[in-house]
Amino acid sequence: MIAQTPKLPYYAVIFTSIRTPGDYKAYAEMAELMIDLAQKQKGFLGVESARDSLGITVSYWKDLESIKQWKKHSQHQIAQQKGQSEWYKCYKTRIAKVERDYSFEK
Amino acid sequence: MIAQTPKLPYYAVIFTSIRTPGDYKAYAEMAELMIDLAQKQKGFLGVESARDSLGITVSYWKDLESIKQWKKHSQHQIAQQKGQSEWYKCYKTRIAKVERDYSFEK
C-alpha cells in the first residue's frame, strides 16, 4: 500500500539493503515485527516496502526526534544487530526531509 | 545495486507505484529506457528500484533544478502520460532533501 502521509513537511527514512542468502523465515518474522512495532511509535506516519534483488523500505515520520527515538528503541536495536551480523550483506540508510509530494489515482 | 551517492546534501525522488495488470513487456522496456535516459541527465546521482506488490524507485539528484528538468524532459513526459493512461493504478512521488546517510557493508 502507498502510505497516506499528512501535509508537508515530514521526514522519510530510505533503507536500501541487500540480503545475505538464507534464513528467510527468521528474517521475515523480524521484518514484520519491526513494522508492527514502528507503527506504535510516536511520530510514525507510514511505511512502504518492496523487495526483489534489492530491498527498499521507506518509513515516514513527523520529525527527526521521532526517527532518533525509533533508532534507539531496544527491540529495534536487537534487530539492527541481527541485521549486521546475519541478514544483510550491505545496506544504506538515508534520512530526508520531504518537501513536495503529489499523487495520481485512477 | 545500492546507489553510490556523493557527500550530503543531495535530493531523493521517491516514486511509489501500484501497476495495472498486464502489458508487462512494454512497461518493462519503458522503465529500462527511462533509467538509461535519467542516467544521462545533468545532476543525476543514482537510482535504486524494487518491485513486488508495490514498486519503489528512488532516484538521487544534485538539486531541485535537475529534478525539474528531468520531469520536463520530452521522452519522460511521454512515459508519464503512458503511466497514467495505461500502466499505473496509482502512484505517489515525493521529493526530499537527504540530510543524513550512513552505510553498512560486510
Closest-CA residue of chain B to A103: B92
Is the CB of residue B33 less than 8 Å away from at least one CB of chain A? Answer: no
pLDDT at B73: 96
Given an 8 Å threshold on Cβ–Cβ distance, is B94 in contact with A14?
A: no
Element (H, E) at A40: none
Q: Is the dihedral of CA B34, B47, B95, B97 positive or negative?
A: negative
Is the CB of residue A90 less than 8 Å away from at least one CB of chain B? Answer: yes
Question: In this prediction, does ipTM exceed 0.90?
Answer: yes
- Domain ranges in chain B are 10-98
Over range B10-20, report the average pLDDT. 98
Given an 8 Å threshold on Cβ–Cβ distance, is B56 in contact with A58?
A: yes
Reported CATH class of domain B10-98: alpha beta
**Cα–Cα nearest to A101, from B14, B24, B9:** B14
Distance (Å, rounded) from C-alpha B50 to C-alpha B48? 7
Is the CB of residue B42 less than 8 Å away from at least one CB of chain A? Answer: no
Is the pLDDT confidence value at B23 over 90? no
Q: Nearest 5 degrees, angle CA B68-CA B10-CA B60?
A: 65
Is the CB of residue A96 less than 8 Å away from at least one CB of chain B? Answer: yes
Is the CB of residue A56 less than 8 Å away from at least one CB of chain B? Answer: yes
How many Å lie between the alpha carbon of B42 and the closest alpha carbon of chain A? 21
What is the value of pTM for the model shown? 0.96
* Chain B partners within 8 Å of A93 (Cβ): 101-103
pLDDT, tens digit (0-9, with 9 covering 90-100), for B36-83: 999 999 999 999 999 999 999 999 999 999 999 999 999 999 999 999
pLDDT at A24: 87
pLDDT, tens digit (0-9, with 9 covering 90-100), for A4-58: 999 999 999 999 999 999 888 999 999 999 999 999 999 999 999 999 999 999 9
Instruction: Return the number of CB contacts < 8 Å for A and B.
Output: 132
| Residues A77-85: contacts with CB under 8 Å, at least 24 apart | A79/A30, A79/A33, A79/A34, A82/A30, A83/A17, A83/B104, A84/B104
Is the CB of residue A89 less than 8 Å away from at least one CB of chain B? Answer: yes
Given an 8 Å threshold on Cβ–Cβ distance, is A49 in contact with B55?
A: no
